[in-house]
């Protein structure tokens, strides 16, 4: 019996290693971006019934596990307030150092509001560079202005 979505995530990660799959292969099978598909496999998005069936087949999941993929998850996957994983910590550090700059520039350009993480897309690519390859991340979210009332 499965009691939470985290158990299904563990099953997916185990099968991914066992089958030597890449997230891009899973995304191609699901028909979504590798970024969204990875987030969904890690328990942060909800698959449709058809998408869940594809993921279930790819990772040899039971019908019960596949059903869990279709339930709206509890969002937020970090186990601590300040992340301890070095890569995630560097993103946290980036927001700590440049967050106020990003906020200031977004407000100057768009006004008082936020960038949506719901109406959102992300693209992560390798950018070859002779001094060492770079991570190219593009985050694109709809601007949502605060309303007055």
Which residues are catalytic, by number?
90, 93, 116
**How many angstroms separate the most distant Cα atoms in the chain?**
55
Ramachandran quadrant class, 85 (left: phi over 0; alpha: psi -120 to 50; beta: rest): beta
Query: What is the model's pTM?
Result: 0.83
Q: What pLDDT, on a 0 to 100 scale, did the predictor assign at position 64?
A: 98
* pLDDT at residue 15, as a whole number: 98
Q: What is the pLDDT of residue 132?
A: 98
Spatial neighbors of 16 by CB under 8 A, at least 6 apart, are: 26, 41, 59
Spans of the chain below 70 pLDDT: none
> What DSSP letter does each residue of 46-70 carry, written as one string?
---HHHHHHHHHHTT--HHHHHHTT
Number of CB atoms found within 10 A of residue 68's CB: 23
């Amino acid at each position: 019996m499965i009691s939470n979505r985290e158990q299904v995530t563990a099953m997916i990660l185990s099968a991914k290693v066992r089958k030597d799959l890449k997230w891009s292969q899973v995304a191609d099978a699901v028909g979504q971006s590798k970024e969204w598909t990875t987030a969904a496999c890690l328990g942060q998005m909800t698959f449709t019934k058809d998408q869940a069936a594809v993921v279930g087949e790819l990772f040899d999941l039971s019908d019960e596990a596949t059903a869990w993929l279709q339930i709206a998850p509890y969002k937020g996957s970090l186990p601590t307030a300040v992340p301890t994983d070095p890569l995630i910590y560097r993103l946290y550090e980036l927001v700590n150092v440049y967050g106020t700059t990003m906020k200031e520039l977004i407000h100057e350009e768009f006004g008082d509001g936020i960038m949506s993480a719901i109406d959102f897309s992300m693209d992560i690519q390798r950018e070859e560079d002779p001094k060492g390859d770079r991570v190219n991340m593009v985050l694109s979210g709809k601007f949502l202005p605060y309303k007055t009332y």
